[in-house]
Amino acid sequence: MLNPQQRAAIEYCDGPLLVLAGAGSGKTRVITEKIAHLVKCKHLSASKIAAITFTNKAAREMRERVGKLIQGPTAEGLTVCTFHALGLKFLQIEHARANLRRGFSVLDADDSQGLIKDLAPSGIKNDALWALQSLVSRAKNAGLSPAQAEAQAGGVREREAASIYAAYQKRLAAFNAVDFDDLIRLPLQILESDDEARAAWQERIRYLLLDEYQDTNAAQYRLVKALAGERGMFTAVGDDDQSIYAWRGANPENLGELSRDYAKLKVIKLEQNYRCGRRILRVANALIANNEHLFEKKLWSEAAEGPPIRVLECRDDEHEAERVAAEIAHLAEKHKSRWNEFAILYRGNHQSRALEKALRIARVPYHLSGGTAFLERAEVKDLLAYLRLINNPDDDAAFLRIVNIPRRDIGATSLEKLGQAAGARHISMLRAAQNDTVLAGLTARPASALVGFVNLMRELARTAERCAAADLVDQLIERIGYAEHIGSQVKEPALRARRLENLKELTEWFRAMQKEGAAGDLAAQLALLTHGDRDDPGNAVRLMTLHSAKGLEFRFVFIVGVEEGSFPHESSIDEGRLDEERRLMYVGITRAKEQLALSFTRRKRRFGEILANDPSRFLAEMPASDLHWSGRDVEQDEAQRKEVASSSIAKLAALFDD
């Protein structure tokens, strides 16, 4: 059953619409139901609709929901994807306008950093290199070309970054490649400068639905305007109270820009929360009221009141971890709950160490989000690099990664000579390796190895023309002897087995793709995927940062490290970003459906010194009547302590029974 505000948002299709959707207010349902309404009631072809969100996981969920509402041929051609996937689709269609050839590569962050490192001053330290890469990325996310970035550079570091940006783009052009940021910047550049292309794409996409609109950056907002045009046929769904990504360019002020750019903008607020208990919402509302708002809203719920929010005062991080682990074990037993109904949230990844130790001792299964991503594993990146090079022989980054995997005795000196020859001839390294004159300048062994590598790539390219991507990956693994390569590199049996299993998983992943395409296209799609898309925790307590928890919900939530300097983080306090820290706490609170606990420590160790902690100022901004501070109600605390201790003793007894 839709509430009146949800129904109004779904049925309004006469102009630009902003839906202010509070946490747990059913925004995904509004988007999916509106797509169905556009197709069934407004008779708009699904191929003319695009729904854009920020993660592949969210896009996949949205696509599945729409599939249940619109079945059969009427759903054909519907676009539900991320901003970057839309940009990739645009460039695959408009590659000529972007000065790209078919089969261009999408570089990942490591490849991008490698190129920037080559262009940066020799001996540059990692921190400085990261800063340069961030400045280049920031310029792209602002929609700036290299020339515009140079014109706007305000200091020595920005001028250096602008110079590297220009050289970096020339290198990408030589590789027939783009990076992640180009997937937004290049379509934007074309749409804003080419009237014919803009008119064609505005006709191709007649209605836009935009999820998590508060997370858009400057370039993404300009892209929306270019696609929507003066008609403004779009629905933007967002919540300024959940804007927590300023560090990567997100601009919540884009919500206000909409009302300035579209005078007829209609605003609908979704304030009924279907997730949290009333007490949890009351605490969240009181906290976020301390921020300034362009659009005021207040969440409410028909759910039960719920128990008081517990505030756990602990001696140090080890005591905090032990206490949280014991509380979880107790609650799981008391409520007969599954482990995946619990989450422990923290401000920084380093805070997980003590928690992991305590959970292992308490025999509580857990899943740590934010570990090495599947797509970041060496064996997966190796195979994807092969696919990229099969698809795009000009991808020097892929060439350099795999030319010696498995080992082919092509040394660094030979590769340097090959690179110099390729640069002098303005061709890629793989093409240079096919040049007899270039090979004659190398010693016999590496020259012969390069000939063998070239022949291998030709053979794989022919294979790619006649088989599906999953079959290509299988044949690639066998043809290059990659399993044997892992066996020679990894001696520990369990680790070797895991890495071999990753190869099988990659093949199955390709096989499970909804639509088969050329291997290179799928490799480009894979370049867009994030760790969150592969996070499958099973039945385990979730450990994750507050940033990672956005969009999720749990029956029981523990937020640890709620002390000054940790949360809010001291750098955010110093830099005047307290509002975003408060929004981050708001996001954490509204992940909880039934019970919420906040913990802090009285002291911490830093650089070998013991320092005193103060509770976070955010605790003082919450209604005192809704908080239960451990140690202040002796009778209630003692009863709780005995319950938890009883659970802990039972756990210890089980250890000796095994």
Beta bridge partners of 566: 569
Residue with tokens 């066998």: 478
Q: How far apart are CA 176 and CA 104, in angstroms?
A: 5
Annotated catalytic residue, options 179, 211, 395, 579: 211
Q: Is 212 a catalytic residue?
A: yes
- Three-point CA angle 94, 100, 103, nearest 5°: 90
**Residue 654 is encoded by which pair of tokens?**
């089980």
User: 486 with 496: CB under 8 angstroms?
Assistant: yes
Cis peptide before 187 (omega within 30 of 0): no
Which of 28, 74, 92, 489 is an active site residue? 28
306 backbone φψ class: left, alpha, beta (φ>0; ψ -120 to 50): left
Catalytic residue from among 108, 212, 341, 474:
212
The SS3 assignment for 49 reads strand
Contact 330, 647 (CB under 8 A): yes
The question of whether 28 is a catalytic residue gets the answer yes
Q: What is the spatial distance between Cα 66 and Cα 60, in angstroms, rounded to a whole number? A: 10
- Contacts (Cβ under 8 Å, ≥6 apart) of 597: 309, 310, 311, 312, 324, 327, 556, 557, 558, 559
Catalytic option among 222, 499, 583, 591: 591
Q: Which of 27, 65, 310, 593 is catalytic?
A: 27
* Nearby residues of 315 by Cβ (< 8 Å), 6 or more positions away: 601, 602, 603
> Does the annotation count 356 as an active-site position?
no
Q: What angle in degrees, to the nearest 10, is found between the helix axes of 218-228 and 182-193?
A: 40
Residue 215 DSSP one-character state: G
Which 3 state secondary structure label does DSSP give 315?
coil
Give the C-alpha separation, 160 to 139, whole Å.
Answer: 13
Q: Which among 242, 351, 545, 601 is annotated as catalytic?
A: 242
The answer to whether the CB of 177 falls within 8 A of the CB of 392 is yes
Residue 166: which H helix or E strand, with range?
Answer: helix 156-175
Active-site annotation, residues: 27-28, 211-212, 242, 591
